């Protein structure tokens, strides 16, 4: 690929923006990448090859899409901004393995698009530079729909990536860490400075690589109940489990009963949520859930 021709250079990006009179929409969190090497590193970390079907979210002007088209078998890109569709058709006209779908990813039937665009049994991976303001809803939709995908590699706000990959007893660890790690093995694979975007965002980014698990690492009686209890345990970070859960279950159990149930799960009620492993949370949620069935 000729570096001069790549979309992800400052001069080429400016040229496309001027030609189409395109103005960035702050409400859509649009920041376009202008560094080809970083894009190639993302492709590498995502493990994209000619066997792979790739799904992209928010292709923008096609900088990452172009690299995906070069390295993957087939690419499906969801773009919410109608103004970008004609620009993408032009910037990607040399590639016949790209389909642009003008839809909001949060409303799209991704399962249907996978069946329509990829070969049966083909490994499918999601690769995206996600808008900061909507990262968590998008990722949770992708994970909870249990799609036939093997991995998700996304560039997101550095702080959010750290939270998603955090271990117990670290300041970034919270309910989001547990939600993401319940479905995936999460790793931050590279950090990206804000200087390689146009316009520059206010914060640095990281690339988070999520490998989908075949089975969750813990057995829970009820997933929704589990996630609900985890969130309640972090409701006020500085408070103990006894306090947070007493507040959450105020209408169901007395403080004494809550303390007993925590003890029954073989956990100290004086600990904080941030100190508990996922296994401990599963034990806690299952104990409370079974009690509710009595």
Which residues lie below 8 Å from residue 103, measured CB to CB, with a gap of 6+? Answer: 78, 79, 80
In whole angstroms, give the CA distance from residue 201 to residue 146: 32
For 18, the 3-state DSSP assignment is helix
76: left (phi over 0), alpha (psi -120 to 50) or beta: beta
Say whether 38 sits in a helix, a strand or coil: helix
Distance (Å, rounded) from C-alpha 103 to C-alpha 233?
36
CA–CA dist 54, 71 (Å, integer): 10
Residue 30: closest CA among 187, 223, 160, 197 = 197
Residue 219 exposed, middle or buried by CB count within 10 Å (0-12, 13-18, 19+): exposed
Binding site as annotated, residues: 31, 33, 58, 79, 104, 129
Residue in 54, 209, 59, 52 with CA at minimum distance from that of residue 122: 52
CA distance 262 to 284: 6
* Binding residue positions for S-adenosyl-L-methionine: 31, 33, 58, 79, 104, 129
């Amino acid at each position: 690929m000729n570096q001069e021709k790549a979309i992800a250079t400052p001069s080429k990006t400016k040229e496309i923006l001027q030609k189409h009179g395109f103005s960035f929409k702050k409400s859509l969190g649009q920041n376009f990448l202008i560094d080809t090497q970083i894009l190639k590193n993302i492709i590498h970390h995502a493990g994209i090859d000619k066997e792979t079907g790739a799904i992209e979210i928010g292709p923008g002007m096609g900088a990452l899409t172009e690299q995906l088209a070069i390295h993957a078998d087939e690419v499906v890109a969801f773009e919410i901004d109608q103004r970008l569709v004609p620009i993408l058709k032009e910037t990607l006209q040399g590639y016949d393995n790209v389909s642009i779908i003008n839809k909001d990813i949060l409303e799209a039937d991704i399962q249907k698009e996978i069946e329509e665009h990829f070969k049966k049994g083909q490994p499918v991976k999601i690769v995206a530079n996600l808008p900061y303001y909507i990262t968590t809803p998008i990722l949770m939709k992708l994970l909870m729909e249990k799609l036939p995908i093997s991995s998700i590699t996304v560039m997101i706000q550095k702080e959010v990536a750290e939270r998603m990959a955090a271990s117990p007893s670290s300041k970034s660890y919270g309910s989001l860490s547990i939600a993401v790690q319940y479905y995936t093995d999460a790793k931050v694979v590279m950090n990206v400075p804000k200087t390689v975007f146009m316009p520059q965002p206010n914060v640095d980014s990281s690339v988070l690589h999520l490998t989908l698990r075949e089975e969750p690492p813990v057995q829970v009686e009820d997933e929704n109940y589990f996630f609900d209890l985890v969130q309640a345990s972090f409701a006020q970070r500085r408070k103990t489990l006894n306090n947070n859960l007493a507040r959450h279950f105020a209408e169901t159990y007395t403080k004494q009963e809550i303390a007993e149930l925590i003890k029954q799960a073989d956990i100290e009620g004086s600990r904080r949520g941030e100190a508990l492993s996922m296994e401990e949370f599963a034990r806690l949620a299952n104990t409370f859930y079974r009690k509710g069935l009595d």
